[in-house]
Structure 1
Amino acid sequence: MSSSSRRSRTRRTGSSPSISEEQISELLSKLQALLPESQARNGAHRGSAARVLQETCSYIRSLHREVDDLSETLAALLASDAVTAEQAAVIRSLLM
C-alpha cells in the first residue's frame, strides 16, 4: 500500500473532523496574535505554521520559567521575617 493511500484512508477513518486549510490559517493567525514577539512586529509578514508553533512553545517555556522564579521568590518571602503571619495568611488565601 502506498503512503498516499494510507494517508487518505487515515483521514477517512479518523475520529476527528477534518479542518480546512482556511481554518488552520485562521487559528495560526489567532495564536500568533497572542505572542509578544508577534505583537511587536504588528502586522509584519505572517510566519510559517512551524515558525508560529516554535514561537508559541518558546513563549510557553519562558512563562513556565517566570512562574518558577516567582514561586521561588514568593516562597522565600513567606519564609522570611519580612512578612507577618497575618500577611502570609492573606497571600496564601489569594493563591488558593
Structure 2
Amino acid sequence: MSSRRSSSRASKLADDEIKELVLKLKPLLPQLDHRRNASVSASSILEETCSYIRRLNKEVDDLSQRLSQLLDSADITDVDEQLIRRLLQR
C-alpha cells in the first residue's frame, strides 16, 4: 500500500511541476502574453510553445541565410570574414 501512496505522490509532484513549467511558459509567448489573466489550457500553451519555437527556428534560418548573402557580397578580407563568423558563433 505504501508503494502506491509514494507512487501517487511522485505522480502528483510531477503533475505540479508540469503545471508550474507550463505557467512559466505562458508569459514567454507573445500570442498569449496579452491574456495573462485569462484561463488558457496547458495543451494550448504547449501547442503555442511548439509553434513559436518553429517560427523562431525559421527566423534564425532566414537571418542566417541573409547574413551569408551579405557576407558573400560584402567587400571584406578573409580575416574580417573569419572574425565575423567567430563572433556570431558565440
TM-score of the superposed pair, with normalisation by structure 2: 0.72
Identity %: 44
2:31 corresponds, among 33, 37, 41, to: 37
Paired position in structure 1 for 2:45: 52
Q: Which has the higher helix share?
A: 2
Shift of 1:64: 0.7
Paired position in structure 1 for 2:16: 22
Tell me the number of residue pairs that the alignment of Structure 1 and Structure 2 aligns: 80
AA in 2 matched with 1:62: R
Paired position in structure 2 for 1:84: 76
SS in 1 for 2:40: coil
1:74 aligns with 2:67: yes
Paired position in structure 2 for 1:8: none
Query: Is the contact made by 2:25 and 2:45 (CA closer than 8 Å) also made in structure 1?
Result: yes
Paired with 2:84 and 2:75, the residues of 1 have a C-alpha distance of 10
- Quote the RMSD (CA, aligned, Å): 2.1
Paired with 2:80 and 2:31, the residues of 1 have a C-alpha distance of 37
TM-score of the superposed pair, with normalisation by structure 1: 0.69
Query: Is the contact made by 1:77 and 1:83 (CA closer than 8 Å) also made in structure 2?
Result: no
